[in-house]
Structure 1
Amino acid sequence: MQNISKVRNIVTTILLLSIIFSIVLFSYLYNNLLSYNIENANNNLQLIFFVFFIGNFIFSGILMIYLYNSMTKWSIEEKVLQRSYSEANAQISRMEAEKKENSISENTFKVSFEEFIKNFDECKDLNDISKKIFLEISKIIELTSAVFYIYDKISETYVPNSYYAILLEEISSFKVGEGLNGQVAKNKKEIVLFSLEEKYFNIVSGLGTAQPSCLAIFPILIDKNIEGVVEMSSFVAFTDEEIEFFKVLFSRLSKFKNIEVV
């Protein structure tokens, strides 16, 4: 930017001096032209100089206008380029900061998950895990209510095997495709709702009965079959990291193949 400004000033100064010089010569030749004598050979020379400097004057003016426009264009292009570089650098800085933050979150997640999963080393089957998992989850995540369903092959129904902060009589069994839980079992994919328009089920707490603000339902896939469904709710919306934590956690349960319904 500064270099262009210096060049512009130099070129402009040179052109102005050229124009001033041409004007001075033009004035001089014009005064001599008033006494022009066609028979005098010197007058022919003066006429040649006159035409030359007039042409030089016009050329200098055109050149100055052209260079000035060019300099203005270069200046605008440089400003745009500098702005692009600034935005690109800012974007790179943001990406590096986000990458660093995500890296820290991932490392924290792995450490906490490995520590968390050790709590189930003594569990022999999915039945044992279902009775312990919500207690452990509630220690690290604000969990308001939860139900662990296990598939009953005889009735072909998912029945509640363990539950947290909810009355058993308020829990209903379901078949594949019935309600949100049934859709999770059918599609083998989790459902997370961040805004519940209607009361889904009663949550019993020290404050009485209240409606949750977030609901998450996860499938338990074992040997390509949905052997269980986990339903959890909270007054506070689950974060993306917590949801990812749940997905990994429940996918790890697939190693427990001895299913018992109690």
Structure 2
Amino acid sequence: MRQRSVSSIGVVLVGLVPAIVGGVVFALVFTVLAIVAFLELATMLKLDSPVSRWIGCGLIALGGILALSASGNRGLPVLVVMSVILPLAYATFSERVSVLEEWPRIVAAALYLALPTFAAISIRQEPGPNDGWLDRVDAFAVPASAETGTGLGWLLLVLFTTWLSDTGAYLVGKTLGRRKLIPRISPNKTVEGAVGGIAFAALTSLLCSWMFQLNLHPVFALLLGIVLGVVGILGDLAESAIKRHARVKDSGTLIPGHGGMLDRIDALLLTLVTTWLLIPVLA
């Protein structure tokens, strides 16, 4: 338990400090974490070809570079097209793999991590007026020449909402859980825990939108939290299904007491993309 607690603190620090610093530092750290998670996923999917792994890692790095350099969403089509073409070219011309087996696996695994990487970095760079205390923190953390905006607030909202939703689901499920959610995929998850996690997500989203002065209507903040709570559960269940198919308990052993990197960011992968898609509607 102590080892798990220490690891949890380390995971939070690794997530928060680069997020506050932003810029190239955050982009680099998140990209590296995503690549580590991709390599764990590649092992579970039996993507054993070094070329397949290099392509996946390269596409994740490309997602980070495009998000950091491209204006708005113009880099996204490039990422998607390259994620389809590069694996297809390799699987077509390689004599070592089957195109029908290797190509879709590389594409799915790469986009599974590359899209959240693009989304996370794009969220951090979200522009917009923010004259509150968080903007002063942002201005202090980044170089004086950098522009500040609402990006830090949005990123912290999705991080805290995802983390506390997971915590709420665990606590409620542990104390009140009776009915299994989807036992064939994740035997320990309960309906009560899922409802508790969604409730925690809604309240956290509401609190964060107020604290970080994102100018969200309280109703929209609650709805965003509910959506992120549901999407986070889906992300968790999806990774559980992959692990069950691969017949492994954890995606890796990188984090003592927690498993692998993918085990820690499975819900975050989908909540980041969802938040990035919803910001233009909500902001």
State if a TM-score over 0.5 links the two structures. no
Indicate the structure with greater helix content. 2
Higher relative contact order (CA 8 A, sep 6+): 2
Higher Rg of the two aligned structures:
1
TM-score, structure 1 as length reference:
0.25
Indicate the structure with greater strand content. 1
TM-score, structure 2 as length reference:
0.24
